[in-house]
Structure formats: C-alpha cells, structure tokens
Chain A
C-alpha cells in the first residue's frame, strides 16, 4: 500500500536556490493539496488542485508554484528559496474536494 509518496524526506537548501518537492499518489484521487506546518501556526494551505489541469492558491502561496499535469503528481516548486520557507511540507489528496484528505509523510526543508 503506497498511498501518497513525498520526496525528498528532508533537505537542506541554500537560500536563493530552486527546489521542487515531489508528491505522487496512487489512489486516483481528484483533489490534491500542499500544506506547510510550522510550530504554533498549525497547517496552512499553500496551493491546491481540485482536478488534473487545474490549480488554485491557498492562504500562503507567495514564493511557491505548483502544476498538475496528471492525476497522480502534484509537485511544489520554490523558485528562489528564502529562510522563512524553512518548514515541514505535507502533500495530501482526497477523492474530491470537500472530503477527508489523506496526508503523506512530509518533507522537512531547511533553508540556510
């Protein structure tokens, strides 16, 4: 049982570098999401996609971009990383928007 796979598990990144966090699901879910989790702030939505070919901005989208070329993959790109993007990033998917979401194991990113 795979579910949602995120890669890498952790990464240390120099400020100003470009980085893509990968997310793949094998459940044929239509909706996918990217969250970041910071101590004391909880999980905050970065971007979402209700179906392949469409994406939308969440509450903290600045500095991030996403694409949804197919049902299974939803990569998150940091064009030019900054230290404030140090966080744990979670990808999630749901059968469709509005239903319970299932989360990956997370990517711990440190920008130095």
Chain B
C-alpha cells in the first residue's frame, strides 16, 4: 500500500527564516510526486510536479527536490503570505495518494 508521510506536522517561522518540509514515500512504481498549497477554506492549489530523482523545480521562494525515497520543499526567506498547509502526493497508476500536510505559519 502506498504511504506518504509529511513532517513536521506544523512549522512556525519568523519572516525571512528559511526552512524545509519533508515528504517521504513508499510506493511501487512512482509515476510522479506533486506539491500543493492549501489555504484555509479553499481547495488545494497546484505548485509542482517532480518525476525523477534529482529533479528540482522552483517558483518564487519555493523549491522542490526529489530523491528516490523523499521530497523536500524548501522555503527561502518566507513571507507571511507563504503561510498555508503544504500537501504532497504521489502518483501510482490511477490515483494520487496524499500526505496529511505540513501547516506553515510565518510571523512578520
């Protein structure tokens, strides 16, 4: 059975304090790993797709990396507007399996 574990569950950062979120997975035949951002009361918003170990994607202050067993979402010099829950999901065959998410709070 596919498993996706995200850590930490919650992360409180000071504005400008860089950090990383972890997504570890076990899946038979990874076809892709996805990162989403979710704001309270809203649906998840797509950020990145990673397909193979060593791949990296960047968007503004966010950078996602992938190894054979885990993915990291690096937040560089975060701002309060980066506060959200970040979800990762792995694609295996027909479905996405989501982790429970990391809730990031950035204080000004």
Contacts and interface: CB of A to CB of B under 8 A. Distances in A.
B95 A90 contact: no
Contact of B43 (A42, A59, A105): A105
A98 B44 contact: no
Chain A interface size range: 20 to 34
B100 interface: yes
B73 interface: no
Contact of A56 (B49, B94, B100): B94
Interface in B1-25: 4
A97 B99 contact: no
Contacts, number: 52
A42 B34 contact: no
B42 A105 contact: yes
Nearest to B2: A59
Secondary structure at chain B's binding surface: helix, strand, loop or mixed? strand
A44 B101 CA distance: 13
A101 B96 contact: yes
A40 interface: yes
Contacts of A98: 31-32, 91
Interface of A: 4, 33, 35, 40-45, 48, 50, 56, 58-59, 90, 92, 97-106
Interface of B: 4, 31-32, 34, 36, 41-46, 49, 87, 89, 91, 94-101
